[in-house]
Chains A and B, each alone.
Chain A
């Protein structure tokens, strides 16, 4: 497929991510920080996010499995996750984390477990989406094209 078509596909795909709320304008900020001196900035940040999030989610799973749930620790982890996801603009994950934190304050284990599931689901979804997007970008670059820059309303 020629470069123009691939570019259009990428643009449409990215558009859809924003439309569906997976990503917000913070992600665009990240893209702005990428340039010739920092060509893989976004990928690096997102990879770090994935790493961190996997760790946090495991911790959370373990923490909530305890009989005596330490809500303070859980809250701390969720806070971390919320921070990371908002830093990269993973909107739905962030929203899920906010909901999670509320239930943590209430110390509602059931709700927290449900929220954890929600967060996990959202996380895996966004991870999938981002990985697909990066693959498309790689294809374009390999074919000699350039990554189109997108401006979006929020």
Chain B
């Protein structure tokens, strides 16, 4: 043992105090050692504690503190220097560590606090999301319910099924006690209980529609909570004491077909709308309440029901209409077939009768004509003429009636073809010439230069029309003149037609031909004009003139078929009248060889060329006659050579010439000699040209000419038609039978 210089602190030790200190230090040390252990234990348990290092530090601090206190135990009594050193070391370490920890904690504690706030924030957020989730889920569920309900409702088009299904599904989805539908009665003044969920056959309760509660429900498209005591909600007999569940009512619009025709259909005025009332009751004694999403569900369903009902109504309508149409169709079909049969029968009848009627007709006309040729006394001749006239008239009548009946039922069709328009007019003139000359009328034809020579149309019927109109003009004129004007109608004049419903449409390959026939004859009084075109209608004046009265009616129909119009104007009785008609004709295309092989020749030679290319030799001393004869023959298409003397004739004549026309002025002389010479030149008969004498002298007889070997004689003056006839006779028979 060392000697120590310190004064022994031999203070009177309060043994108790020291004891207590001893014990406290011990326990402190214990605590200080067990706290880190606990900390380590719990930290090991939790995996997320982020501050391990701090914990170690803290543990170290505590351990050292504990160590210090423990070592302190030994310092109460005499202790060695080693103990003192250990004590000091421990204290030093402890000081260091505790200071470090203190410093560290300054950083750590704010962090820990913020962790706490974040935790709070997240908790709030989680709560909010939970709430929203709950909302979405309810909405989705509502939607699902609605879809299912709608699907059920719309899967049928039957009214009752729709309504019944609605109630059933609603009841199921919302777990209702009772669900009922009140429909408005026919009068619209009451609501009648039509469908309920639980009761199978609801007795016909009715409530007046003017109840305030009903008006309240009808005034909004939302579901409205109503009192269970209101008349519409008293659906179940009250059995015992129970608290009835909450009741909600909603309006169901009943849409009419007519509602869909109003343009602003979302804002239909309530006056035109009818509503039904749907009442839903929650189970009694259940303390359940109507939630918002349930109310929304109910509103949506009410709308869907309205739509489904209207669809059902529309379907009913259309089915009914379809049935009606089918019936009508069948009836119409039958009628059409009957009509067709009738027309066929009529046509057959007409065809047969036509043939039957025409055969004897022809016989009569032919024999009467032949009879006319024989020797008859004047009375006999008169009788035969009357027979002929009457039978011609009858033949015309038959034709007219047949035509008209075919025109009436539309079975007549135009026979279109390309024809010479100018020649149609000339033909008409030719046909009326006999009557015109007898009546001493003057007929003038005025063809405008823009009238094409060729047109596409029905030539026969156009001629018939023109002939009829001109014929009428001639028939009803005792004297004076008749003017026929034809021109192509321009669009301005087209609009000036007298018919209000005639709309001519000019087009590129068609033109409207305007024909006007003006006469200075009897005229027509204004009140008779509308009747002119009706069948069989005849005025006083026309009755005497013969005819069936069908002519103009037929003309009108022909003109209409040709997409034209016909009308008659007259200034009054005795002032003549004007018949005007417009017809639509086609313009032929550029004629090409392939289509009309003979057309170019026709164009080159005017009108009807009967003898294209026929080589003719004309001999005439007189220059003017020569030219006229040549003109005649050129018109008929012949290839003409002219000579002015006999010698020239003999020189020029050749086998190419088929006909020699020679002017024989005086009997004997040149003409006959030439004929003999020609005979000598061409020995074989069939090669020799035919020789015909043209003469103005009646002494030149047929016999004389025949004796010298001529084949025929023609008396001048010779018309175009006569020349044509002569040539065709000559070429056919090689000899001219008649001199005229």
Chain A contacts to B: CB under 8 angstroms = 7, 11, 15, 26, 29-30, 32-33, 35-38, 41, 44-45, 48-49, 52, 79-80, 83-84, 86-88, 144-146, 148-154
Contacts and interface: CB of A to CB of B under 8 A. Distances in A.
B631 interface: yes
Contacts of A153: 436-442
B442 A48 contact: no
A86 B716 contact: yes
Given A15-B442, A144-B449, A153-B437, A83 B624 contact: yes
Given A15-B442, A29-B719, A38-B606, A80 B449 contact: no
Interface in B719-733: 719-720
A54 B384 CA distance: 53
Interface in B435-478: 436-449
B665 A79 contact: yes
A52 B444 contact: no
* Pairs A-B, 4 closest by C-beta atoms: A153-B437, A84-B624, A35-B606, A83-B622
B159 interface: no
Nearest to B448: A146
A88 B444 contact: no
A33 B448 CA distance: 19
Given A38-B606, A48-B627, A151 B622 contact: no
Interface string B619-636: 001111101100110110
B145 to A, nearest CB: 91
Nearest to B432: A151
Contacts of B525: none
Contact of B625 (A29, A35, A84): A84
Nearest to B605: A37
Given A32-B720, A45-B631, A83-B696, A146 B447 contact: yes
Contacts of A144: 449
13 contacts: A7-B446, A33-B632, A35-B607, A38-B606, A45-B624, A80-B621, A80-B622, A83-B665, A88-B624, A146-B447, A148-B445, A151-B429, A152-B437
Given A79-B665, A144-B449, A153-B437, A37 B624 contact: no
Contacts of B445: 148-151
A152 B632 CA distance: 20
Interface in B622-655: 622-625, 627-628, 631-632, 634-635
B246 to A, nearest CB: 100
Given A44-B627, A84-B623, A152-B443, 14 more contacts: A29-B717, A29-B720, A33-B634, A37-B604, A37-B606, A83-B622, A84-B622, A86-B716, A146-B448, A148-B445, A149-B444, A149-B447, A150-B442, A153-B437
Contact of A30 (B605, B607, B631): B631
B606 A30 contact: no
A109 B705 CA distance: 35
B320 to A, nearest CB: 68
Contacts of A79: 665
B222 interface: no
Contacts of B716: 86-87
Nearest to A33: B631
A44 to B, nearest CB: 7
Contacts of B432: 151
Contacts, number: 106
Nearest to A28: B719
A151 B436 contact: yes
A36 B603 CA distance: 9
Given A35-B607, A84-B624, A87-B628, A146 B446 contact: yes
Contact of A52 (B429, B623, B634): B623
Nearest to A150: B444
Nearest to A19: B442
Nearest to B717: A26
Nearest to B665: A79
B495 to A, nearest CB: 21
Contacts of A48: 623-624, 627
Interface string B688-722: 00000000100000000000000000001101100
Contacts of A49: 624
A16 to B, nearest CB: 11
A143 B644 CA distance: 40
B423 to A, nearest CB: 11
B628 A88 contact: yes
A84 B432 CA distance: 30
Contacts of A146: 446-449
A84 B436 CA distance: 29
Contacts of B449: 144-146
Nearest to B624: A84
Nearest to A152: B442
B19 to A, nearest CB: 160
Contacts of B426: 149
Nearest to A11: B444
B433 interface: yes
Contacts of B622: 52, 80, 83-84, 87
A34 B449 CA distance: 15
Nearest to A83: B622
A79 B621 CA distance: 11
A36 B606 contact: yes
A41 B624 contact: no
**Residue of A7, A30, A83, A86 contacting most chain B CB atoms (<10 Å):** A83
Nearest to B439: A153
Contacts of B717: 26, 29, 86-87
Nearest to B722: A29
A8 to B, nearest CB: 9
Contacts of B696: 83, 86
A45 B627 contact: yes
Contacts of B438: 153
A52 B628 CA distance: 14
Interface string B144-158: 000000000000000
B613 to A, nearest CB: 15
A121 B190 CA distance: 118
